[in-house]
Every structure is written in structure tokens, then in C-alpha cells.
Amino acid sequence: MPMKFNEPAGANPIDRQKVIGKPFDRIEGPLKVTGRAPYAYERHDAVENPAVGFVVGAGIAKGRIKSIDVTAARKAPGVLAVVTAETAGKLGLGKYNIAKLLGGPEIDHYHQAIAVVVAESFEQARAAAGLLRVDYAAEKGVFDLRGTKDTSVKPKPSGGDEPDSAKGDFAGAFEAAAVKLDETYTTPDHAHAMMEPHASMASWDGNKVTVWTSNQMIDWGVSDLAKTLGLPKENVRLVSPYVGGGFGGKLFLRADAVLAALGAKAAGRPVKVALPRPLVFNNTTHRPATVQRVRIGAGRDGKITAIGHETWSGNLPNGKPENAIDQTRLLYAGANRMTATRLALLNLPEGNAMRAPGEAPGLMALEIAMDEMAGKLGMDPVEFRILNDTQVDPENPERKFSQRRLSECFRIGSGRFGWSARKQPGETRDGRWLVGMGVATAFRGNLVMKSAARARLAADGRITVETDMTDIGTGTYTIIAQTTAEMLGVPLTQIDVKLGDSAFPVSAGSGGQWGANSATSGVYACCVKLREAIARQAGLDPLKADFADGQVTADGKSVALAGVANARDIVVEDGIEFGDLDKRYAQSTFGAHFVEIGVDHATGESRIRRMLAVCAAGRILNPKSARSQVIGAMTMGAGAALMEELAVDKERGFFVNHDLAGYEVPVHADIPHQEVVFLDETDPYSSPMKAKGVGELGICGVAAAVANAIYNATGVRVRDYPITLDKLLSAMPEVG
Amino acid sequence: MAGPRDWEISRRDLMVGAGAGAVLAATPKLAEAGASLASETRMPTLASVSFTVNGEGRRLEVDTRTTLLDALRERLQLTGTKKGCDHGQCGACTVIVDGHRINSCLTLAVMHEGSEVTTIEGLGQPENLHPMQAAFVKHDGFQCGYCTPGQICSAVAVLDEIKAGIPSHVTVELDGELLPTSDEIRERMSGNICRCGAYSNIVDAMAEVAGRRA
């Protein structure tokens, strides 16, 4: 029976914070910095001499394949097999997939995989892939979101939420408001652009397949690979101990895993497949572009009386909308409210989750609107936000936030950043630079997911924890080891953590910033059970047992952990399930982002000078790795503000800049020293760890803070991301 | 420039030669076993190449299309060097060749006859970290770890470049002493993308190592 988390956590061993809450270096760090951590494509240790599969992507966005001539490819040197939809046999569609991972004859999007060519070597597979002759019948598609406003529809409810929400009389209150804002903002399609391309290696043993892969959610991947291949789930094993970045792009089964498995079956030997970088952008998922209308009405006192947020985005058939209105339902007070979500049919590649789906693009719009509104009111943007802070769900005032210290984030941040030195737009000058400061709210829901683990105490006192949880750079290895060490009262160095293998108990996985809190809670539950088993084995009363300094103690008797498991290892398995505390209380994470920017008065070039984030996110399990999550998210937010945009070819229907030179992400020179402050807090409503997540909170609001800083520097308001210099130049102030 | 035909010897000749105990010469030897040059039926052109990797002499017979990156990763199984883009856009494949950092995906293995290659594995080992590797751990200069070997190889070479007085785009005084300032570090490291966004911590790690040297 898993542990049920139905009521707020009381005092527990985690509160000791001897190991938890300390800034330990990552325990897998030495492996990563010496190149010894093996990623999916590198498992020479697991499979000797695999063949190599090269993926071919569709050259049209919509239509069908009339024929594929594979003759030349098959005859090419070293080629072992060519797999297409024609030869692959019947394939299912994964629960989490929208478009087929091996396309044909129908093509759903550009660069949808249509073949894998398997050869003895990468060079041979790549050369042979170039010999495929594909004859397409292209059809017209819809590729431009801005032309779809009239044809977009109200989507099905997703995640239990209706697409529209309403409270009070928005229209009347907005009409009557003394000060009003009604503006439209646009955000472009974004790419995850993680550094490790999607990669998998597959090996069959009869009708069982093992896939070494790079995936955030092991159990989803197992289920969907089994469904796609028509296998029982128990015949599929996924192994993913190291993931070279995901950001949502590796939440789901993708073509690399399916084609490695199909290629291996066809070739009769293990096969590895990595998506070539230029294929990643159109073959996999992306954060969809949005058009967002925000309306805010307030009294002259600055109190919001009406707030409305509408968003539309596009996707393939059966795709979901980008829920850019999510935060607006909970973030600011105001009696009269509305949100609406609309979805257009687009024949672009599949839109799906990227770091803070919903809130990341939603706050890009809302938090510029708040800055504009503060300007209209003649109020300081920090004071305007504090004035409209709320301790209850504004749509349902009986429902309180479990904990909400947003205003404190702003006050602390203002002081540390020197916010009071901010002047009116265009008034601060440093040589050729116009200098400005901007601020925005960070807000992201606190999601929880059930999670399990197995723990083993060996005779020498070492404890091994196994769970299919992944570490995608988030610090999972370390915080799970810290949780275990805290619970068992042993040093961190006594703990071994094994992750990312479907042979281990099913965890929360890495997504939605639920990973750290949920997975360590599962480990907590497992450790509670291990403590009981150890106490009993040691002949002590489990209810009285205390674990500290490598010993278990009860009724004045102490026994060293090393030696308790003398005959055989003590092994337990348990997990946690969450009740409805996240329904009874609004649970979120909060922060305030401060940015200082310089804009070249002549060229319009923007350079970020300083960044500060102040975050309130429950107990911080490891301040070092948590801070890294936040600075990394701030960096991605800076990219969204200043440079990131998948450029759509609106005739042929694909993302044109599909590599790392065309899709610009921040580099060293773009990012200054970054500061992060975590409020010292615990949230017992969240989990026994009393923690929340920070990895997505960190990106929420950053882009708007940058946009607002550019406005403060120049007086130019840009509502169309990214804020590139061409959008500033024509409106830049005349300065000498 | 000699065309392939000028270099041509047959694969069988090469095998016979090798079987007879012939020692491969220092220059790459090429073998073309295909009857036709039409790409559809062309057999891989093979060549032998010898270089030093992390102080150890290695000799390989490679498909001439093989990049130095794939020679390291696939043939020598030194997978610490990463393939992020295979196009010289991300820097994950950075290694140090004859004292200079290069993108190993942008150079063919056969171009490195006699080269001395240092990869991340050669800089240090988990129980014996190079000072830069130790500083990356201490300052958390990485998250997912995939760009990290390239960042570290670049970082080591960047500090050497600054020490050698090689100017960069942001160098203000060309005749003064060149210092490892944050601006110099950021400018020179900008060919190494970290999507996890560890830049601020990487600069801290490098500054610490630079300070220790000074």
C-alpha cells in the first residue's frame, strides 16, 4: 500500500535538515565533467558494435507519398535494411503522440520520419539515406496562425479545466473601469533545442526489446513504445540514466526509439539512431506560437476590477492548445474576470509542452500588460503588483493558497536590485547605452504526481535507491541521495542512486516541475518503510526508532546500520500517492524577476546587464542545484525575450531555421552574472518533503521583465516577441 | 589537388600488404574497392591514420568520411566528446588538437596524421580531476552534462589563449597585458552552447581557475 498524502505534513525526519537543504555538489558531477557518464547513443558498454540507423524526414508538410524507391539505398555498401511505413508492419499510435512517428503514405508534417536506413556505419547509412527517391503528392495546408482567428474553435477541456472561465461581470466592469488596457501580444514558436539530440539504441531478444534512450518519462515511454509496436508492456524495457537536456522535448516517445526498434528488428541486430540536428526542429515537438489579448480595468486607486485574457494557438488534428491563460485565473485579485482559449488547425509539426507550458508564454503577455497598466495608472510596477496580490483563489475566494509570499519576493528583490534607482523611460544613459530596469512576476502551478522507489540496505551499511525517475540536469541523483541520507541518518557518501530504468519502480518522471518534490516524496515513503524493516531486524521498536550517525536507536539501545543486514540485503519498495490537497488549496510557486538592460541608442542592440530572481517555492532541497535550475531558466527566458523564434515558411509549412545556427539561443556573451534568492520556507500542504518545484518557475516572467526593461530604457513598447533590434530601431528616441 | 584516382590502390592490395607484414606509412593510404565512381555503388574509401590521443598512439583504418569526432566516439569509444549538432554550431565536440581547441565534427579523422589530441578523458579522471573539472563541479557549471566536456576543453584552451596574449573581439588594449576578465571569458566561450544555461556558473568556475594560475 503506497503512502497516502491526504493531510498537511507534520514534523518528520526531513525537518532535521542535516543533509536536505544543504548545497552539496552533484554526486554524479565527477562522471559528467570527465566524460564518463554514458548517454543513450554511447552505450558501448551495453551493446557491442550496433548497426547505425539514419532517419529520413518527409520533404513536404502535408499530402501523401506516392512511392518510395529504396532500390539504390538497399544496394548501397554496408546497408542492412531500409524500413518504411510500407515494410514496418502495422504500427499503433502512442497515447501521448498526435502524429505518427513513422509517416506514410499520409504525411502529417514536414520532416515527419518516413524511413530509417540501417547500415554498418554512420557514414554508410547517411550516404544510403540520400539515395531514397520519394515521389510526393503535396496538398495545401494551413501554416499561418494569424490567418486562423475566424476558424479557430473552442477545444475540448484539457487537464480537467474548461477552455473558458468567467467570474462576475467582466464586460460591464471593464467598460466602467476608470483606467483600461486592451492590447494584443504575440509569442512565436519555440524550440527546446536541448544539447543532446533525441537518440536511442535498441536490441531485441526474441520478442522482447530493450531500448537505451534519452527520455524524461520512462513509464510513458514504455507504454507508448509497447502500444506502437503492438507488444505487451512487459516486453519493453527502457533505460535512460543520463538525459542530455529535455525541457519537455523528451517527455514522449519519439521517432528515434521507434525507428531504432524497427531497424533492429529488420537488420537482425542492435541498431542505434540519433536524430540529425537539422531534423530535430521539425521532426519533434515545439512550444506553439500564441496570439494573446489582455484586457485589464482598474480604479484610479490601482485596484484591478476587471481582468480578461484570451489566447489562441494552433496544432495538428487532436493536438492541444497552449494554455497561456492559466496563470491569469489565479495570479491577481479582481472581482470580474474572464479567460478564453481557442485552437486553430495548423499543419505545422506537433505543438506540445516546453518548460512551463501555458505560463511561460502566458506571462510573456500578461506581465507586459501589467507594466503598461502600471504606466497608465502612474504607479510603480512593483507597487501595482503588490496592491493586487491575493491570498485566495480569485475565482473561488473560499479556496486559499497553501502558501503565497509573492509580495515578499517583490519587496526583497526591490531592495537587493536597487529598484528605487529606476527612472522614467529613456532617462538613464551610460555612454552609447540607454539603460532600463524591468520587473515581472514569476508564477507556476505546483503539480504533484505519484511516485515509487525501491531501497536496499547491504551488509556493509551502503544503501541503494532505485527508481525510474530521471535526472535531466535537474539534480535528481543528488536530492534523492540527500533524502535517503536524511531519513536513514547516514552520510551522503553511503548512498547509491540508480535512475531511469523501467526495471525500477515507476516514479513521477521529470516534467511540469513536479519531479523533485514528487520523486523525493516517493523516496521518503520508501525510506519510512526501510526504517521500519531495519528497526525490526535490529530488534528495536519501529515506532520509537531514531536514525542518526549511522545508527538506529530505541529504548536506549543503539545498533549500527552496517551489520544489520548481515545475512541478506534488506529490500523494500514503496511510494506516495497524493490526495486532493492540491484541489482544496491553490498550490503554486512564486517569484519576482528583476532585469537591467542596456540598449544601444544607435543600433537598438540589447544587452542584459543584471538579472535577479527572488523565489518562494517551499523547501529548497539543494540550494546549489536549485539555483542552477533557476539561472538556466532565466537564460532560456532571456532567449525568448531577445532572439528565439522558429521562423515559419508559410507557403511550404515548416520551420526554416532548423539548426542551432538559425535558431538562436543565448550564448555566454548574452548572459551576465545572475543572482537568485530563495525565501526560507516550507509548504506542508505540498508533500512530506514540504518542497515544490523551481525549474519552470525560473523561466516564468523573465521575458516580460526583459521587455519591460527595454521599454524603461527606450520608451519603445514592443508586443511582438522576440524583441529584435529591427522592432526597436524605427521608434528609438533621438539622442545626442 | 589530387583527385581520388591519383591516390587509388585497391582494398585487396592493402589487405595483402598488411598480411605480408608491411608497415603502413605515415601518410594516409587510400583504398577504393568499387568498380565505379557512381555514388550508388561506390564502396567506402578507406585510409589509415595515426595520431596520439591523450598521450597514447592510435592507428585506425577509417572510412575517409569519418570525422575526428566519430573516430573518437565510435572507433576509440571515447564518448566523452559529444555530438550535439555535427555542424560546428554548438561546440559540444570541442577537443584540443596540437594545443588548440577545435570542433572535432568539422574535421575529418584522416586530416590528423601525427596530431596530438586531448579529449575530456585525457584532462582528468573522476578520482583525479583536472582543476577545471573540479571547478565545474564546485560551481555547478553544468546541469544535464552533455555540453560539459566541450565547455571544459574550451575553458582550458581559452585560459591558455588569454595567457598567450591572443586578443579577442572584446579586447580593448592590444598592447597591454591580457587579463582573464569575465568579458573576455564570455566572448571566447560563446561557441559553446549550454541550453541548460549554466553560463554564469561556468564563468565563476573559469575565474577561479584563472585566479589560481595568476
Q: CB distance B202–A671 less than 8 Å?
A: no
Last residue of a domain, one of B123, B143, B172: B123
- CB-nearest to A665 from B65, B80, B193 is B193
B143 and B55 belong to one structural domain: no
Quick count: other Cβ atoms within 10 Å of Cβ A55?
25
Q: Let me know whether B104 and B141 are in one domain.
A: no
Which residues 20-39 of chain B have a CB within 8 Å of chain A?
Answer: 34, 39
Q: What pLDDT score was predicted for residue B31?
A: 45
Query: Shortest CA distance to B155 belongs to which of B174, B173, B177, B135?
Result: B135
Test mutation, A22, A32, A48, chain B, max B CBs within 10 A: A32
Contact list in A for residue B39 (CB cut-off 8 A) is 127, 131
Q: Do A245 and B196 touch (CB under 8 A)?
A: yes
DSSP 8-state code for residue A450: -
Question: Which residue in B140, B152, B200 is closest to A671 by CB distance?
Answer: B200
Scanning A298-442, the segments in alpha helix (DSSP H) are 359-377, 381-387, 406-417
Structure confidence at residue A736 (pLDDT): 63
Burial (Cβ within 10 Å: 0-12, 13-18, ≥19) of residue B120? buried
- The CATH class given to the A293-446+587-729 domain equals alpha beta
In this structure, are B109 and B141 located in the same domain?
Answer: no
**Strand arrangement, sheet containing A133-138:** A106-107, A63-69, A133-138
| Cβ partners under 8 Å of residue B26, min gap 6 | B50, B113, B114
**Same-domain pairing of B25 and B97:** yes
Whether the CB-CB separation of A442 and A613 falls below 8 Å is answered with yes
Q: Does residue A124 contact residue A51 with C-beta atoms inside 8 Å?
A: no
Strand partners, B151: none
Find the length of chain A: 736
Asked if A277 and B85 come within 8 Å (Cβ–Cβ), the reply is yes
Are residues A616 and A637 in contact, defined by beta-carbon separation less than 8 angstroms?
A: no
pLDDT at A595: 99
- The pLDDT tens digits of the residues spanning A263-286 come to 999 999 999 999 999 999 999 999
Q: Which of the four pLDDT bands, split at 50, 70 and 90, describes residue A160?
A: low
All residues at 6 or more sequence positions from A205 whose CB lies less than 8 Å from its CB, including other chains: none
A25 vs A590: CA distance, rounded Å: 25
Q: What's the grid cell of residue A218?
A: 520512462
**Which one-letter amino acid corresponds to residue A72?**
A
What pLDDT shows up at residue A566? 83
Asked if B45 reaches chain A (Cβ–Cβ under 8 Å), the answer is no
| Claim to verify: residue B111 and residue B170 sit in the same structural domain | no
Check whether residue B17 and residue B119 sit in a common domain. Answer: yes
- What residues of A are in contact with residue B61 (Cβ under 8 Å)? none
Partner residue opposite A33 with nearest CB, options B142, B186, B197: B142
Beta carbons of B81 and A195 less than 8 angstroms apart: no
Considering only the C-alpha atoms of chain A, give the largest distance between any 2 of them, rounded to a whole number of Å.
84
Q: Looking at A162, A427, A696, A734, which residue is catalytic? A: A696
Interface residue of A55, A212, A668, A673 to substitute, partner B, most B CBs within 10 Å: A668
- Residue B143, chain A, CB below 8 Å: the answer is yes
pLDDT given for residue B176 in this prediction: 86
Find the mean pLDDT for residues A430-448. 97
Inter-chain CB proximity A25 and B63 less than 8 Å: no
Q: Does A697 touch chain B (CB under 8 A)?
A: no
pLDDT digits (tens, 9 = 90+) for A66-94: 999 999 999 999 999 999 999 999 999 99
Answer yes or no: do A277 and B189 touch at CB < 8 A.
no
Note the Cα A87 to chain centre separation in Å: 35
Residues 6+ apart with CB under 8 A from A531: A487, A488, A542, A545, A547, A552
Q: For A198-213, write each residue's pLDDT tens digit.
A: 999 999 999 999 999 9
Q: How many CB pairs under 8 A join A and B?
A: 211
Continuous H helices in B139-214: 148-163, 182-188, 199-213
At residue A735 the predicted structure's pLDDT band, cuts being 50, 70 and 90, is confident
| Contact across the interface for A277 and B87, Cβ inside 8 Å | yes
Count of structural domains, chain B: 2
Q: Is the dihedral of CA A411, A417, A420, A422 positive or negative?
A: negative
Residue A595: its chain B contacts at CB < 8 A? none
A248 touches chain B (CB under 8 A): no
Specify the range with the lowest mean pLDDT, choosing from A175-189, A299-313, A641-655, B19-33. Answer: B19-33
A651 is catalytic: no
DSSP states of A528-558:
HHHHHHHHHHTTS-TTT-EEETTEEEETTEE
Determine the distance in angstroms separating the CA of A504 from the nearest CA of chain B, rounded to an integer: 21
Q: What is the CATH code of the structural domain delimited by A3-35+449-581?
A: 3.30.365.10
CATH, residue B67 = 3.10.20.30
Q: Each residue of A20-47: pLDDT tens digit?
A: 999 999 999 999 999 999 999 999 999 9
Asked if residue A112 lies in contact with residue A93, where contact means CB atoms within 8 angstroms, the answer is no
ipTM surpassing 0.85, yes or no? yes
Q: Which domain holds residue B41?
A: 4-123
- Whole-angstrom CA distances from A194 to A246, A249, B84, B91, B153 are 6, 8, 9, 13, 20
Residue B137 · residue A25 · CB < 8 Å = yes
Q: Where in chain A is the domain with CATH 3.30.365.10?
A: 3-35+449-581, 50-140+199-245+250-283, 293-446+587-729
Task: Report whether A241 contacts A216 (CB < 8 A).
Answer: no
Of B80, B81, B198, the CB nearest to A628: B198
The chain B residue lying nearest A675, using CA atoms, is B200
DSSP A271-320: EEEE--HHHHHHHS-BBPPEEEEEEEEE-TTS-EEEEEEEEEEEESTTPP
Note whether A631 contacts B42, CB cutoff 8 Å.
no
Q: Please indicate, yes or no, whether residues B139 and B93 belong to a single structural domain of this protein.
A: no
* pLDDT score for B17: 38
Q: Measure A635 CA to nearest chain B CA, in Å.
A: 5
Q: Tell me, what's the pLDDT at B29?
A: 44
| Chain A positions in Cβ-Cβ contact with residue B37 (cut-off 8 Å) | none
- On whether both B138 and B109 belong to a single domain, the answer is no
Of all residues in chain A, the one with the smallest CA distance to B142 is A473
Within 8 A of A659 by CB-CB distance, chain B residues are: 85, 87, 89
Domain finish residue from B99, B123, B147: B123
Q: Which amino acid is at A451?
A: S
Contact A221, A334 (CB under 8 A): no
A49 touches chain B (CB under 8 A): no
Residue A567 confidence (pLDDT): 83
Question: Is A661 in contact with B83 (Cβ distance < 8 A)?
Answer: no
Disruptive mutation site among B196, B202, B204, B206 for chain A (greatest number of A CBs within 10 Å) = B196
- If phi > 0 it is left, if psi is from -120 to 50 it is alpha, else beta; for residue B99 that is left
CATH number at residue B178: 1.10.150.120
Instruction: Specify whether the CB–CB gap between A90 and A70 falls below 8 A.
Output: no
- Report the gap between the CA of A661 and the closest CA in chain B (Å): 6
Taking contacts as CB-CB distances below 8 angstroms, the residues of chain A near B42 are 77
- Scanning A262-301 for CB atoms below 8 A from B yields 274, 276-278
B147 and B193 part of one domain = yes
Q: What is the mean pLDDT of residues A475-496?
A: 98
- Picking from B86, B123, B143, the nearest residue to A632 by CB comes out as B143
Interface of A with B in 85-124 (CB under 8 A): 121-124
Residue-wise pLDDT for A218-275, tens only, equals: 999 999 999 999 999 999 999 999 999 999 999 999 999 999 999 999 999 999 999 9
The pLDDT score that the predictor gives to residue B24 is: 39
Task: Give the per-residue pLDDT at A490.
Answer: 98
Residue ranges of chain B with per-residue pLDDT less than 50: 1-40, 214
* Partner residue facing A473 (CB), from B40, B125, B196: B196
Half-sphere exposure of residue A343: CA atoms within 13 angstroms, side-chain side: 20
Closest CA to B141 of B44, B96, B207: B207
Cβ neighbours, 10 Å, residue A300: 10
Of B77, B149, B195, the CB nearest to A193: B195
Q: State the CB neighbour count (10 A cutoff) for residue A555.
A: 8
Residue finishing a domain among B81, B106, B123 = B123
Q: Going by DSSP bridges, is the β-strand pair A451-457/A570-578 parallel, antiparallel, or unpaired?
A: antiparallel
What's the average model confidence in pLDDT over A505-526?
Answer: 98
The DSSP output letter for A577 is E
Do B22 and B40 have their domain in common? yes
Environment class of B208 (CB within 10 Å of its CB; exposed 0-12, middle 13-18, buried 19+): middle
B17 and B116 fall within a common domain? yes
CATH architecture, domain defined by A50-140+199-245+250-283? 2-Layer Sandwich (3.30)
pLDDT above 70 covers a percentage of chain A that reads 100
Task: Decide if B124 and A34 are in contact by the 8 Å CB cutoff.
Answer: yes
Same structural domain for residues B202 and B160?
A: yes
